[in-house]
Amino acid sequence: MNRYDVIIIGAGITGLMTAYKLAHHDLKIIVVEANPEPGWGVSKGHAAVVHVVQLPFSSKKSKMAREGNKMMEDICRELGVRLERTSTLIVATKIHHLLALPFMALYLRLNLGRDFPVKLRGRRYLRHEEPNLTERALGAIEIYGYGVVDSFDLIYALYEFSAANGAEFLFGERVIDVEIGNDEIKVKTDKDRLLTSNFLVNAGGLWADEIAGLTGDEITFELGKGVILVFDRRQTKRLISPAYLKPDPKTKGGAIMFTVEGRGLWGPNLRTAKNKEDVTVEEEDIKALTDKFGPLLKEDLGISIKAYAGIRPIPPENDFRITYSSRSRRIVHILGTESPAYTASPAIAEKVVSMLASSGLRLVPKKKVFPREPFPRIRDNPEGGKGEIVCLCSMVTEEEIREAVRRGSKTLQGVMFRTGAGMGICQGGRCMAEIVRIIAEELGTDVEEVTLRGGNTWIVRK
């Protein structure tokens, strides 16, 4: 039996951000994750946008997203994670939408304040600033304060920082039982491991309802699936979204977006998922995205290279639920972490840490905190790059592949997420075999032993 001050269940963005905050203090922490690597649950299907607008403005998720937005830049700077600030244009292509823009802008200004400026833009501005925008664009509202972040690097940076500062991680083990005592909590995993702690944080994401059930609490989620279409290059300078007069409270409606690597994104849409494993992409998803966003642009769309889906847990109140367990104030549940939980994660983590402190957790700052070593990339520093380029589409070297394995990736998917290899226009068609060979060599095993994402997801068989 191993004893800890805090057990965190779930190594998604909220669990990792909580570990990151706690790792600045003199505590013994362990994070338990069912997947082979961090961030492979809800966080994996993210669009990597740092949001501003989330309706309704009075909701917890809206307030915490704006709080987290303001914290994100400092965190990314500390961890060496790329973040590009930008703005969003809410574009009117119909006359009645254009007439409504001044009223929409006033509403946004009243709720966003000075932290996130709002400006009305006319056709001349749009033609000059966004030449790929449709000629039918009549005007727009521009909202400042958005950003795009290197999503996977942030996930791994939080993990690496926390590990460097004493947090332990247990991957590939699922929590199957929680026993609550007067002054301790016992957690059992499916590998027959027993962990004991003073406090427990349920950051289980899509499975947080099941963890809550183990503690005697009950919550049900609606499973919302969103699909994102990926293009070989970005199509706009800013994020672009069509104007709506009746927005859906369960979604921001999606946008034309881009990544820090310079790829274009459209989406997400929102529809009900069949189950927690339903990340399929169907023809109707692609049609919905192209019908919605295609008319906003001219013909220079680039090449669509892939589509992926993510699932979000939507609670009955359609809002974050960050609360103590009904059984014990030593247990904190982070529930309903749908979009924009990625943006809100710093604020969520601060609230969780504050709740733990109110329940008796002693927070003694460490005298020395070790920094996270940024991941070296030849595309960021061409002169400092090492090794032969393996992935031409994403400019990834052999040394970067090996470094990903040294930092803990043991699967092809883990290496792809850490490095971006195989995620370019050819989707690994030219480099996948070489990447698998390098992973096997670095692990000291045969290529037949390398899997896509663990378990029986084999890639090569004799």
Q: Is there a domain that residue 62 lies in?
A: no
pLDDT at 339: 80
Does 282 share its domain with 172? Answer: no
114 lies in the same domain as 92: yes
Average pLDDT over residues 67-86: 97
Q: In this predicted structure, what is the pLDDT of residue 247?
A: 65
pLDDT higher at 386 or 439 = 439
Q: Is residue 398 domain-resident?
A: yes
Instruction: Judge if 395 and 273 occupy the same domain.
Output: no
User: What pLDDT is stored for residue 380 in this prediction?
Assistant: 78
- Asked if the structure places residue 228 within a domain, the reply is yes
Same domain, 173 and 240: no
- Domain total of the chain: 3
Has residue 74 been placed in a domain?
no
Pair (292, 418) in one structural domain: no
71 within domain boundaries: no
The CATH number of the domain holding residue 262 is 3.30.9.10
In a shared domain, residues 159 and 216: yes
Boundary-marking domain end, from 314, 341, 370: 314
What is the reported pLDDT for 253? 78
Percent of the chain past pLDDT 90, that is, above it, reads 87
- Tens-digit pLDDT profile for residues 124-148: 999 999 999 999 999 999 999 999 9
Q: Is the pLDDT confidence value at 293 over 80? A: yes
- Statement to judge: residues 140 and 169 lie in one domain: no
Same structural domain, 187 and 132:
no
Q: Residue 336: inside a domain, yes or no? A: yes
Same domain, 131 and 205: no
pLDDT at 1: 58
Query: Do the domain assignments include residue 459?
Result: no
pLDDT of residue 418: 93
Is residue 72 in some structural domain? no
Q: What's the pLDDT tens digit per position in 210-247?
A: 999 999 999 999 999 999 999 999 999 999 999 987 76
User: In terms of domains, do 231 and 296 share one?
Assistant: yes
Domain extent for 327: 2-43+152-220+316-358
Please check whether residues 430 and 288 belong to one and the same domain: no
pLDDT for res 251:
66
132 and 172: one domain? no
Would you say residue 404 has pLDDT above 90? yes
Q: pLDDT band for position 462 (50/70/90)?
A: low
Mean pLDDT for the chain overall: 94
> Which pLDDT value is given to residue 378?
86
Q: What is the CATH number of the domain that holds 406?
A: 1.10.10.1100
The 3-class secondary structure across the chain, one letter per residue, is CEEEEEEEECCCHHHHHHHHHHCCECCCEEEEECCCCCCCCHHHHCCCEECCCCCCCCCHHHHHHHHHHHHHHHHHHHHCCCEEEEEEEEEECCHHHHHHHHHHHHHHHHHHCCCCCEEEECHHHHHHHCCCECCCCCEEEEEEEEEEECHHHHHHHHHHHHHHCCCEEEECCCEEEEEECCCCEEEEECCCCEEEEEEEEECCHHHHHHHHHHCCCCCCCEEEEEEEEEECCCCCCCEEEECCCCCCCCCCCCEEEECCCCCEEEECCCEECCCCCCCCCCHHHHHHHHHHHHHHECCCCCCEEEEEEEEEEECCCCCCEEEECCCCCCEEEEECCCCCHHHHHHHHHHHHHHHHHHCCCCCCECCCCCCCCCCCCCCCCHHHCCCCEEECCCCEEHHHHHHHHHCCCCCHHHHHHHHCCCCCCCCCCCCHHHHHHHHHHHHCCCHHHCECCCCCCECCCC
Q: Is the pLDDT of residue 250 over 70?
A: no
